[in-house]
Chains A and B, each alone.
Chain A
Amino acid sequence: MDLYPFFDWLDTSLLADISKAYGGVFAVVQMFHLLGLSMLGGMVLLGDLRLLNLVMKDVPSEVVIENTYKWFNVGLVMVVISGIFMSSAVALKLYYNTMFWAKMSSLAAGLFFVYAIRRPLLRFDHDTIRPMTLRLIAITSILIWFTVAASGRWIGFS
């Protein structure tokens, strides 16, 4: 599926006009993008480090994990909305950027992992899940979201 028509449309959309013309608006949206990313990353780290038994050992991991869901979702919505706006400023440039597609691929993998595997599995009592599986889930989750953030930063240098 060729997404070029979408990027071509985005490059000439009203969003692109605003993001290209008003540097101040772009900077504020970028701030929300980073805020959303830090919120999302913070929830990922909190949940996964608890699964690795490294933090908050006195709180059941089910409780910690359950409490990260809401703010993970808030962070994700912030990142996606602000990300679309920021992409509109350089839409066609991003279309030809390999690191952008690396970021989108890892984001897709991360979302599939979170909503199709990690959350459904972690609804069960964690004592009934093998400790090795819990550790593997935590390490995979941390590395996927690290890749999303790092490849996003890398876009600026590629």
Chain B
Amino acid sequence: MKNRDILERAAIGFAVITLVGLAWFWSVQVGWVIETLEMAYG
């Protein structure tokens, strides 16, 4: 397998893992903000 193909696969793998991780991270943060706003304003 060519070096370029290996890098391309690595890029896709890294991107998928990162995007899933970031989606989880920001959903937790936004959930925390909503919870805080609910506590403050009911």
Contacts and interface: CB of A to CB of B under 8 A. Distances in A.
Contact of A124 (B4, B12, B18): B4
B2 to A, nearest CB: 9
Contacts of A118: 11
Interface of A is mostly: helix
Contacts of B18: 109, 113, 140, 143-144
Interface in A51-83: none
Contacts, number: 47
Interface residues of A, number: 23
Contact of B11 (A102, A109, A137, A143): A137
A136 B22 contact: no
Given A117-B14, A140-B15, A154-B29, A130 B22 contact: no
Interface of B is mostly: helix
Nearest to B8: A133
Given A117-B7, A143-B18, A144-B22, A136 B12 contact: yes
Nearest to B7: A121
Interface in B11-40: 11-12, 14-15, 18-19, 22, 25-26, 29
B10 A117 contact: yes
Contacts of A128: 4
Contact of B15 (A129, A137, A147): A137
A130 B8 contact: yes
10 contacts: A109-B18, A117-B11, A120-B7, A121-B11, A124-B7, A129-B8, A133-B8, A137-B15, A143-B19, A147-B25
